[in-house]
Amino acid sequence: MPADTHTEMKPETEARAAQAATGRPGRQTIGWTRGERGTLRELWEYRELFYFFAWRDVKVRYKQTFLGVLWALIQPFFTMVVFTLLFGRVARIPTEGIPGPIFYLTALLPWTYFSSTLSGAGMSLISNSNLLTKIYFPRVILPAAAALSGLVDFLIACVLLAAIMAYYHAPVGWGLLLWPVLVALLILQALGVGLFLAAVNVRYRDVKYAIPFMIQLWLFVTPIIYPSSMVPEKFRWLVALNPMSGLIEAFRHTVAPGQAVNWPMLGFSAAFTIVVFAAGAAYFKRTEMAFADII
């Protein structure tokens, strides 16, 4: 069944599609069973459903669009242009000697992935409520699929970054080898917060209004528009408390010539990311048995 028909399927039809994706019959149990609760083995058994949901999210995102996946390039490109002109040329915010487009784009790419994953993961359970009450599968698959589908746009946008770097003749250094680690931490950070928001959203529907507001505030307290070095020394520790600060700065400095990664800040972000992911996953696991009853 084509994944892009999700918005037009009846609950029964969608449930059968999910069953077909796993190759396993649906269970009568809506919550976890005692012997299977949260095991990696069960998630592996449902990997086909995981890929099904992720690919469905990608196709639905660009369904009936004229430019299709080109939006993954257009959005960061024009945002970068606006930031470069407004904050770089007009406000004259320093970019630490890094060309403005590279300075802003290297921060916008991970931030765009992070913000879109929070929105998608936070709403994943509510938007699939018909499935939660009709078929059993590990509920974590839904927010995790949102995190996986966002990587498609991120990887496409990385092509734009490579083109901008080539235009400015930016040298490619060994720092790029750190990107897979940074991307993994970014996924964990987004998924950890997304799992918490998804679970809370089932009970309190205010979350769908709070997510955009939270993302907007988070943007301004993260060194995307400005470098962390611009913050006075005595307040810089506050910037470091933001787990996204170390990640954004590391993404930026690994591709910028002559820039060193702030390892203490990155180390704190990595440690905090693991804590956030563990806490979000634990809360999600503890509350998911009641999802089908209160959604």
Q: 230 to each of 12, 91, 92, 224, how far by Cα in Å?
A: 55, 13, 12, 12
The range of the structural domain enclosing residue 135 comes to 39-294
Residue 17: inside a domain = no
Using the structure block, give the residue that is written with the tokens 């996953």: 281
Cα gap 3→49, rounded to integer Å = 11
Look up the pTM and report it: 0.85
Q: 251 to each of 107, 113, 185, how far by Cα in Å?
A: 7, 13, 11
Domain count, the chain: 1
Residue 9: inside a domain = no
List the pLDDT tens digit at each of the 295 positions of the chain: 444 434 444 444 455 555 555 454 444 444 444 434 445 677 788 989 999 999 999 888 888 777 788 888 999 999 999 999 999 999 999 998 899 999 999 999 999 999 999 999 999 999 988 888 888 888 999 999 999 999 999 999 999 999 999 999 888 878 888 999 999 999 999 999 999 999 999 999 889 899 999 999 999 999 999 999 898 888 888 888 999 999 999 999 998 766 788 899 999 999 999 999 999 999 999 998 888 778 7
